[in-house]
Amino acid sequence: MPTSAYAMLPEDWSTFCKNAGFPAFRSKQILLGLYKDRIRDWSELTTLPAAMREKLTKDAPLTTLREVTRTPSGTDGVTKFLLEADDGEQIETVWIPADGRVTQCISSQVGCDMHCAFCASGQLGCVRSLSAEEIVAEVMVLAREMGQYPNNIVVMGMGEPFVNYDAVLRALRILNCQQGINIGARHITLSTCGIVPGIQRLAEEGVQFELSVSLHAPNDVLRSQLMPVNRRWNIAALLSACDAYTAATGRIITYEYTLVKHFNDRPTHAAELIRLLRNRKARVNLIPLSPVAEFDGETPSHADCLVFLDALLKAGIHTTMRRSRGKQADAACGQLRLRKVKETENGSQKQ
Ligand code: SF4
């Protein structure tokens, strides 16, 4: 059983209370204190006797992440936070308000080993995976700062969640459970670059989380250039796992497709993509590339994006195009941390 407070599900608290000799009803008080009152320290939970608070402080510590910096993005309200763990490692999480609702994008690892060409998180490799309590703490820290929980969670920040499968799933169950943060499963999206065993495992979990798959190219030649993971699991293997996932869960999968000028945005690419997805339960989310210093691809013209979108829609594929938001906030995944790491390196070189 985990011993960090934010890694514990209601059944773990029942066991904890039983083993500690606490009456069973204390479990409910603890969960209310954690997730309704959002206590920062067990000493704030004054509904419990002092001896219990001491026991909790000793045996179920509250993980926290320290805010290093935040970067607001002008008028759209998108705010990126750089948070620091106890060991000094830093991760990013983004608060994205839109149409009266808020989505929080959370990280699952410090950095990432997947090395997708257009992603700053992949530039520095993976330092370590986050624990379940650190992933939950990302949400708790921002909830305290912003005065509310997000309505939606997307696991699309730094890291590949299926490489850190157990911790991510535990954290999502805590975010989802009624006595925890109570975010509906359909409002929680797991995003993978295409780790086939992770998709297969999720299909067997019996959970209703949304699944999003980063496709980004309509054939293996192009996809392998953008995403090294494609050399391990090619498009055929990926789509086969996605089909099995859909068959097991009935869920529609969202395929993310970043449009890169003259690389994967031509009508022939749209036609290839249509052939791949036409007979599948699929949604497509088109994302015009946000320029990053680490990748020399260019943003396609708006007109070309619309032609691509139109082709998919005419083929009967449910397709949306994501607004480019948070550019001023280094909002593409990993850019804020990469900038901080480079600043630190430059600083130490100058000394
Ligand atoms: S896009 Fe996602 S999987 Fe790819 S390198 Fe970045 S964080 Fe990792």
Residue 296's pLDDT band (cuts 50, 70, 90): confident
Q: In angstroms, rounded to a whole number, what is the distance separating the alpha carbons of residues 122 and 112?
A: 5
Residue 121 CB less than 6 A away from ligand 1: yes
Are 335 and 230 part of one and the same domain? yes
- Report how far ligand 1's centroid is from the alpha carbon of 55 (Å): 40
- Report how far ligand 1's centroid is from the alpha carbon of 212 (Å): 13
- Residue that terminates a domain, selected from 59, 81, 99: 59
Are 30 and 116 part of one and the same domain? no
Our mutation pick for probing the ligand 1 site, out of 110, 114, 212, counting the most ligand atoms within 8 A of Cβ, is: 114
pTM of the shown model = 0.91
Report DSSP letters for 241-302, one per residue: HHHHHHHHH-PPEEEEEEE-TTTT-SHHHHHHHHHHHTTSSEEEEEEEPPP-TT----PPPH
pLDDT tens-digit series, residues 130-155: 999 999 999 999 999 999 999 999 99
pLDDT score of 254 = 96
Are 215 and 276 part of one and the same domain? yes
Nearest CA to ligand 1 atom 4: 116
Q: Would you say the C-alpha torsion 49, 50, 54, 60 has a positive or negative sign?
A: positive
**What is the domain range of residue 15?**
5-59
Residue 193 CB less than 6 A away from ligand 1: yes
* Number of domains within the chain: 2
- Report how far ligand 1's centroid is from the alpha carbon of 147 (Å): 30
For residues 277-281, give the mean pLDDT. Answer: 94
Q: In angstroms, rounded to a whole number, what is the distance separating the alpha carbons of residues 317 and 224?
A: 24
Residue 5 CB less than 6 A away from ligand 1: no
Contact 170, 133 (CB under 8 A): no
Are 248 and 217 part of one and the same domain? yes
Residues 6+ apart with CB under 8 A from 12: 1, 2
pLDDT score of 88 = 96
Q: Which two tokens stand for residue 203?
A: 């299909």
Residue 242 CB less than 6 A away from ligand 1: no
Are 37 and 149 part of one and the same domain? no
For residue 192, the ligand 1 atom closest to its alpha carbon is: 3
Residue 336 CB less than 6 A away from ligand 1: no
Are 22 and 126 part of one and the same domain? no
Are 27 and 72 part of one and the same domain? no
pLDDT mean across residues, the chain: 91
Our mutation pick for probing the ligand 1 site, out of 116, 212, 233, 257, counting the most ligand atoms within 8 A of Cβ, is: 116
Give the CATH number of the domain where residue 168 resides: 3.20.20.70
- Report how far ligand 1's centroid is from the alpha carbon of 256 (Å): 12
Are 11 and 129 part of one and the same domain? no
Helix or strand run (H / E) with residue 192: strand 188-192
Residue 160 CB less than 6 A away from ligand 1: yes
Are 75 and 216 part of one and the same domain? yes
For residue 157, the ligand 1 atom closest to its alpha carbon is: 7
| Residues catalogued as catalytic | 92, 333
Give the CATH number of the domain where residue 17 resides: 1.10.150.530
- Report how far ligand 1's centroid is from the alpha carbon of 124 (Å): 11
**pLDDT-above-70 percentage for the chain:** 91
Residue 350's pLDDT band (cuts 50, 70, 90): very low
Residue 11's pLDDT band (cuts 50, 70, 90): very high
- Residue that terminates a domain, selected from 59, 76, 103: 59
- Report how far ligand 1's centroid is from the alpha carbon of 293 (Å): 16
Our mutation pick for probing the ligand 1 site, out of 121, 158, 190, counting the most ligand atoms within 8 A of Cβ, is: 121
User: Would you mind telling me the total number of residues written for the chain in this entry?
Assistant: 351
pLDDT tens-digit series, residues 24-61: 999 999 999 999 999 999 999 999 999 999 999 999 99
